[in-house]
Amino acid sequence: LYTFFVNETTTPDAGFIGELATSYLQNGTGIKLMIRRLLTSAQFQEQSNYFTRYSWPVEFVVRSMKENGWNGFSLGSTLSPLVSMGQELLEPPNVAGWVL
């Protein structure tokens, strides 16, 4: 979750990950409080973590649909930009997936 929400390019601090794991286990493996802890942490808001999350083309397409509303979008109109970017949904070039 740290990699998904905060930073994909560096290894997170083991102490902080330990805190998140403790929160997760102390709350009966409930994820809600752990995510709250992550999103309100100093690490999440550190300026050095800005722009360190890579977004795949499918994320850009879905984000634009959500921000502009779902009206007028069909599966075809959603998949077309992905194919144009060489990122056909569920059709990676090989078992390794797409190259970053």
Give 59-85 pLDDT, tens digit per residue.
878 888 878 777 777 777 778 888 888
* Rounded distance between C-alpha atoms, residue 48 and residue 28, angstroms: 32
Burial of 35 per CB tally in 10 Å (0-12, 13-18, 19+):
middle
Is the pTM value of this prediction over 0.85? no
Give 5-37 pLDDT, tens digit per residue.
888 888 889 999 999 999 999 999 999 999 999
Cβ atoms of 1 and 23 within 8 Å: the answer is no
Q: Between 86 and 42, whose confidence is greater?
A: 42
Q: What is the pLDDT of residue 100?
A: 67
